[in-house]
C-alpha cells in the first residue's frame, strides 16, 4: 500500500487546538534600577517547540527566562506559562518549569547524590522512588561514578552536568536553559543535544538562550532575536511576536503511515 | 502526600542539608564554639575574681555567649545559600515558603541547643555555679530561648542574606528585637539557679513561650516575601 504524504507545520500534528500556549507574554517589561532590561515583549510560544533566544549581552534573554522561571517579577506587563500567570500563580508555575541558569545552585559541601536527593525532595518526589530516580539521572549525566564526591571538588563541566541532572529530575512542561553548552566537554554537548531532541519529541517546550548557536540551531524550531530588551526578529515556527517580526516557516514534509 | 507531611518533609530536608554542610565545614563550627567560650572567659576576666560577683553575673554572661554565638550560627545557615546561586534555586522549588523558614529555624534552634549544652557546663566551671540542682528548669529555659532566638535570627538572616554587609547588619537588626527574650531568659535562669525565692519563674517562662509563638508566626508568615527578588 502506498504511503500518504501530507504537508504540515512542524509539531502541529496531533496537537490539541484548545491548549494554551506554553509561554505567553504581553508588553512584558522589567526594570533594574530604572534601566529596562526587558522593554515590552509580547510573544507566544506554542507547546512542544524548541525556541532559541539570541542577542548580544544585555539584550534581555536571561531576564526573560528568569521572569518565566518566577525568579523575578515583571515590572510591567504579564507573562504566563501554560496559561498560568507567573505573578499570580508562581507556585503552580514552578511545578511546571525547570530552569538551568548561569549559576548551578549546588551546595559545595554536599555530594553529587546528596544534592540531587535534596532537589528530589524539594520537587516533591516520593522518598521511596526518588533514590532510584536519582541514580538513573546521575547515570544519564555521566556522574554515576562520582556520586559520593563532594561538589566542591567538581570541575565547571561536572557542576553543569549535575545541575542538568536536577532539571531532569523535575519532569517539567517548560525547560528554560541559559547558555546550556557553557563549560561542557564534547560528551556533555552531545548529552545536551540528545536531551533537546528528547524534549522536543516528547512535547516539552524549551527556551534556550545562547550566544554560540552552532550546537542548538539544528534542534530549534524557531529563533527569537532580542536587542535592547525588545524582540527584533523571529524566524521559524511556533512563535508569534507583536509587532509581527517574523519570517514564515517553510512547510515540512511529514510522512504518515496509512 | 498531604500538605502537612510535604511541608514537614521539606523542612526536614533543609535542616538536614544545612546540618551536613555545617558538620563538614568543621572550621565554622569550631570557630563558633571557640568564640562563645572566649566571650565567657573574657567577661570573667573583666568582672574580676570575686566568686560572688561572678556567680551573680553568670546567667547574663551565659545568655550573652549564647546570643553572640547564635548570631554566627543562624547567619551561616543562610550564608550557605549564597554559594553559586543556591538561594535562587531554593526559591524556584515548588514548595511552601513557610517550610523553608521552618527548616532554617529548626536547624538554628538545634545549633543554639547544642551551644547551650556546651556553655552551661562551661559557665558552671568558670564561674563556680552549681547548675546540677536546676538542670530541668535550666534546660527548659534554654529550649524556649533557643526557639525564640532562632525564630528571630532566621527571619533577619533572610532579610540580610542578599546584603553585602550582612555580617554587620544581622546583629544590628536581631539584637534589639531579642532584648525581651534576653531579659526573660536571664531572669528565668537566675530564678532557676537561686531556687526561685520570689516565685517569678513561671512568669518569665510564660513570657519566653509567648515570645516564641509570636515570633514563629510572624517569621513564618513573612519570610516568603524576603526570598522574592
**pLDDT tens-digit readout, A92-113:** 999 999 999 999 999 999 999 9
CA gap A115, B85 in Å, rounded: 14
- B167 to chain A, any CB pair closer than 8 A? The answer is no
Cis peptide before A60 (omega within 30 of 0): no
Check residue A20 and report its DSSP letter: P
How many Cβ pairs closer than 8 A exist between chain A and B? 78
B50, with CB counted inside 10 A (0-12, 13-18, 19+), is exposed
The pLDDT assigned to B200 comes to: 92
| Shortest CA gap A68–chain B (Å) | 11
The pLDDT assigned to B1 comes to: 66
**pLDDT tens-place string over residues A196-241:** 999 988 999 999 998 877 888 888 999 999 999 999 999 988 888 8
Buried b (16+ CB within 10 A) or exposed e, A141-168: bbbeebbeebbeebeebbbbbbbbbbbb
* Complex-level ipTM: 0.90
C-alpha cell at B72: 554566627
Cβ atoms of A123 and B94 closer than 8 Å? yes
pTM: 0.87
CA gap B206, A55 in Å, rounded: 61
For residue B92, give the nearest of A94, A121, A127 by CB distance: A94
Query: Does B144 score more than 90 pLDDT?
Result: yes
Cβ atoms of A168 and A155 closer than 8 Å? no
Query: Does A6 score more than 60 pLDDT?
Result: no
Query: Does A13 score more than 50 pLDDT?
Result: no
DSSP B28-70: HHHHHHHHHHHHHHHHHHHH-S-HHHHHHHHHHHHHHHHHHHH
Mutate to test the interface with B, among A30, A107, A111, A163 (most CBs of B within 10 A): A107
C-alpha cell at B4: 502537612
Phi, psi of A88 (to 5 degrees): -85, -30
**pLDDT tens-place string over residues A192-201:** 999 999 998 8
Please enumerate in sequence order all residues whose Cβ is within 8 A of that of A169, keeping only pairs 6 or more positions apart, or say none.
A116, A119, A120, A123, A125, A133, A134, A137
- B95 to chain A, any CB pair closer than 8 A? The answer is yes
Q: Which residues pair with A254 in a beta bridge?
A: A6
**Residue B24: closest CA among chain A residues belongs to which residue?**
A109
CA gap A35, A239 in Å, rounded: 27
Q: Which of B89, B20, B103, B76 is nearest to B227 (CA)?
A: B89
- State which H helix or E strand residue A98 sits in: strand A97-100
Amino acid at each position: 500500500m502506498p504511503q500518504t504524504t501530507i504537508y504540515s507545520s512542524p509539531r502541529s500534528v496531533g496537537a490539541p487546538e484548545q491548549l494554551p500556549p506554553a509561554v505567553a507574554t504581553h508588553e512584558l517589561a522589567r526594570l533594574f534600577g530604572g534601566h529596562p532590561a526587558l522593554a515590552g515583549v509580547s510573544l507566544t510560544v506554542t507547546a512542544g517547540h524548541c525556541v532559541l533566544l539570541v542577542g548580544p549581552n544585555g539584550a534581555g534573554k536571561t531576564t526573560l527566562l528568569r521572569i518565566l522561571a518566577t525568579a523575578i517579577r515583571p515590572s510591567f506587563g504579564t507573562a504566563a506559562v501554560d496559561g498560568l500567570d507567573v505573578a499570580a500563580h508562581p507556585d503552580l508555575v514552578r511545578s511546571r518549569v525547570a530552569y538551568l541558569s548561569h549559576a548551578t545552585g549546588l551546595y559545595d559541601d554536599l555530594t553529587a547524590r546528596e544534592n540531587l536527593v535534596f532537589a528530589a525532595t524539594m520537587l516533591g518526589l516520593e522518598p521511596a522512588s526518588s533514590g532510584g530516580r536519582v541514580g538513573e539521572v546521575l547515570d544519564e549525566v555521566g556522574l554515576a561514578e562520582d556520586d559520593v564526591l563532594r561538589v566542591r571538588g567538581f570541575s565547571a563541566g561536572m557542576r553543569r552536568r549535575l545541575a542538568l541532572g536536577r532539571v531532569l529530575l523535575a519532569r517539567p512542561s517548560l525547560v528554560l536553559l541559559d547558555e546550556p553548552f557553557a563549560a561542557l566537554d564534547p560528551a556533555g554537548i552531545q548529552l545536551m543535544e540528545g536531551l533537546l531532541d528528547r524534549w522536543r519529541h516528547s512535547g516539552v517546550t524549551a527556551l534556550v538562550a545562547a550566544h554560540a548557536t552552532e550546537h542548538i540551531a539544528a534542534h530549534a524550531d524557531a529563533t527569537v532575536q532580542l536587542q535592547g530588551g525588545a524582540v527584533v526578529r523571529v524566524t521559524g515556527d511556533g512563535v508569534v511576536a507583536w509587532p509581527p517580526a517574523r519570517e514564515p516557516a517553510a512547510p515540512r514534509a511529514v510522512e504518515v503511515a496509512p | 502526600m498531604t500538605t502537612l507531611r510535604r511541608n514537614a518533609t521539606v523542612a526536614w530536608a533543609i535542616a538536614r542539608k544545612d546540618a551536613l554542610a555545617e558538620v563538614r565545614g568543621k572550621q565554622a563550627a569550631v570557630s563558633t564554639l571557640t568564640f562563645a567560650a572566649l566571650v565567657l572567659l573574657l567577661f570573667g576576666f573583666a568582672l574580676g575574681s570575686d566568686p560572688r560577683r561572678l556567680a551573680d553575673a553568670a546567667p547574663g554572661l551565659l545568655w550573652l555567649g549564647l546570643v553572640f554565638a547564635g548570631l554566627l550560627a543562624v547567619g551561616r545557615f543562610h550564608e550557605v545559600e549564597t554559594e553559586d546561586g543556591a538561594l535562587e534555586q531554593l526559591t524556584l522549588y515548588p514548595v511552601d515558603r513557610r517550610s523553608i523558614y521552618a527548616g532554617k529555624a529548626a536547624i538554628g534552634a538545634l545549633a543554639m541547643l547544642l551551644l547551650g549544652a556546651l556553655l552551661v557546663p562551661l559557665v558552671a566551671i568558670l564561674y563556680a555555679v552549681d547548675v546540677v540542682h536546676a538542670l530541668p528548669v535550666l534546660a527548659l529555659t534554654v529550649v524556649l530561648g533557643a526557639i525564640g532566638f532562632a525564630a528571630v535570627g532566621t527571619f533577619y538572616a533572610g532579610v540580610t542574606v542578599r546584603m553585602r554587609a550582612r555580617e554587620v547588619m544581622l546583629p544590628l537588626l536581631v539584637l534589639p528585637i531579642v532584648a525581651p527574650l534576653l531579659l526573660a531568659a536571664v531572669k528565668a535562669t537566675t530564678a532557676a539557679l537561686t531556687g526561685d525565692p520570689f516565685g517569678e519563674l513561671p512568669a518569665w517562662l510564660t513570657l519566653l513561650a509567648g515570645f516564641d509563638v509570636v515570633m514563629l508566626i510572624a517569621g513564618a508568615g513573612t519570610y516568603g516575601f524576603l526570598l522574592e527578588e
